Structure 1
Amino acid sequence: MSTNPAKPIRVWLTPPGPNPWKVIFLLEELGLNYEIESFSYADVKKKPFIDVNPNGRVPAIEDPNTGITLWESGAIYQYIIEQYDAGHHISYESLKERHLGSQWLHFQMSGQGPYYGQAGWFQHLHAEKIQSAIDRYMNEVRRVIGVIEGVLAAKESQWLVGDKMTYADMAFVPWNFRLSEVMNLSWDEVWEGAPHVRAWHERMVDLPSWKRSMEIRARLMDEQGLQWNGVPKGIESFDDYEKQLAAKNAAEKGQ
């Protein structure tokens, strides 16, 4: 049972990236009262958002029920669990499991998110192809997957902590969901050698809460004229988008 806030929690987000959907997934799974403030990524370093998060990164939340404003998705996770998961639907009360959940959340924030993000950046968005950087971060993606694969393979449970899905499992879903795009590989190639991680991930993306989150994302992306992968409508593929970005960078250098 969750403690539902009387007033909706406001979630500030730009829809393309994975991190905002960590928070929406959590709110949907707990059935909490929230509203979305969706805006363009081009405005992420501008007012009014930098008044909410001076670091200019999404997501951020404002909770009128407590007067708390928070940014950094991991901090938001910890807050929502502590404040609103009173029935421990996706958390534990016991000392060991509480800290194991925190451990895995920190690993997601320090290991998965940054490495996957850099892999995607150097694979698709950097102004020039630097193969050593691409190789480094792709290897780190494989290493992170390998860590989780080893843990899940050794456990009788299908989950990272205890014997049920927790917020610690959920935090990994949005970035793993984008791995085919990040790595430029088929879904089968992404999970090669990691059957336990694949099964774990696919159990969660089959949840109604995740499906609702992705329906919301699709609507918000459409409102901003974006395809599911963040590429503007009218551009056929990510390769075409990369070429457009490269031409833009070259033109800016020539000015």
Structure 2
Amino acid sequence: MIDLYTFTTPNGRKPAILLEELEMPYTIHSVDITKNEQFAPEFLAISPNNKIPAIVDRDNDLAVFESGAILIYLAEKGGQLLPIETAARIKAIEWLMFQMASVGPMFGQLGHFRNFAPDQLPYAINRYEKEVQRLLGVMESQLAKTPYLAGDYSIADIATYPWVSAATTPYMGLTFDEFPNVQRWVNAIAARPAVQVGMDVLQPTFKSQFGTVAEAKA
């Protein structure tokens, strides 16, 4: 059994999607970052960086933090979505690291400066929008050659989709007009039932065969 500590953010949705794809039983524990619950001592014991998501594998009594590490761990535990053969495996890990090092941070900064900065700073917004557009261009070039980022569907796609799917929402205000292969990729992943459930984690409409939401502590 996996205990998933998460919230309704792109990073928080990644492990829920993978757990659904793996059909692996899990219990969801809400860590409401809008209420600073990530700084609670009991969560710090699981996630030393005070960030969601984190998991505890009750089968092995093992806690894992950082979303990329969680995806690798769960894929290996489930024996799916991370190839064993060396060349294919490193390709999936490359694109997973692309998301961790570039897509998440840059999309996140754009969203922050567009929506949450006390003052609208055109320099910051322009800087991060240009970088997000550049990253979409990198994806576009790759997806012109392969159906998914690393060839076959993998944890690289699961990690990247929640961020990229937010690009065309009012939160970021972008379009995929110049990125038809990115749009095709987004549509293909959005159609997957496991992705639909995982993206809905901690929403009132969440309904899963494999995941249950833990009762809130009194």
Report the TM-score when normalising by structure 1: 0.76
Which residue pairs with 2:18 in the alignment? 26
Which residue pairs with 1:160 in the alignment? 149
The structure 1 residue matched to 2:56, chosen from 57, 62, 67, is 62
Which residue pairs with 2:72 in the alignment? 78
**3-state DSSP of counterpart to 2:5:** strand
Distance in 1 between residues matched to 2:41 and 2:205, nearest whole Å: 20
2:56 aligned partner, one-letter code: E
Q: How does 1:62-211 map to 2 (within 5 A)?
A: 62-85=56-79, 88=80, 90-153=81-144, 155=145, 157-162=146-151, 164-179=152-167, 180-185=169-174, 190-211=175-196
Flag the structure with larger Rg.
Answer: 1
C-alpha displacement of 1:52: 1.5
C-alpha displacement of 1:220: 7.9
**3-state DSSP of counterpart to 2:119:** coil
Distance in 1 between residues matched to 2:83 and 2:29, nearest whole Å: 31
Distance in 2 between residues matched to 1:106 and 1:136, nearest whole Å: 22
% of aligned pairs identical?
A: 32
C-alpha displacement of 1:166: 1.3
Which residue pairs with 1:227 in the alignment? none
Distance in 1 between residues matched to 2:205 and 2:42, nearest whole Å: 19
C-alpha displacement of 1:211: 1.4
Q: Contact 2:5/2:30 (CA < 8 Å) preserved in 1?
A: yes
Greater helix share, structure number:
1
Matched, 1:11 2:4: yes
Q: Contact 1:63/1:69 (CA < 8 Å) preserved in 2?
A: yes
2:7 aligned partner, one-letter code: T
Q: Contact 1:152/1:196 (CA < 8 Å) preserved in 2?
A: yes
Distance in 2 between residues matched to 1:49 and 1:91, nearest whole Å: 28
Which residue pairs with 1:219 in the alignment? 204
Moved more, 20-29 or 35-44: 35-44
2:18 aligned partner, one-letter code: L
Moved more, 137-146 or 207-216: 207-216
Q: Contact 2:6/2:53 (CA < 8 Å) preserved in 1?
A: yes
Distance in 1 between residues matched to 2:200 and 2:69, nearest whole Å: 25
Q: Contact 1:38/1:220 (CA < 8 Å) preserved in 2?
A: no
Q: How does 1:32-51 map to 2 (within 5 A)?
A: 32-41=24-33, 42=35, 43-51=37-45
C-alpha displacement of 1:94: 1.2
Distance in 1 between residues matched to 2:98 and 2:131, nearest whole Å: 13
2:42 aligned partner, one-letter code: P
Structure 2 unpaired stretches of 5+:
207-218
1:97 aligned partner, one-letter code: A
2:199 aligned partner, one-letter code: M
Per chain length, whose mean CA-contact separation is higher, i.e. which structure has more relative contact order (CA < 8 Å, sep 6+)? 2
2:159 aligned partner, one-letter code: A
Q: Contact 2:31/2:52 (CA < 8 Å) preserved in 1?
A: no
**3-state DSSP of counterpart to 1:108:** helix
Q: Contact 2:2/2:57 (CA < 8 Å) preserved in 1?
A: yes
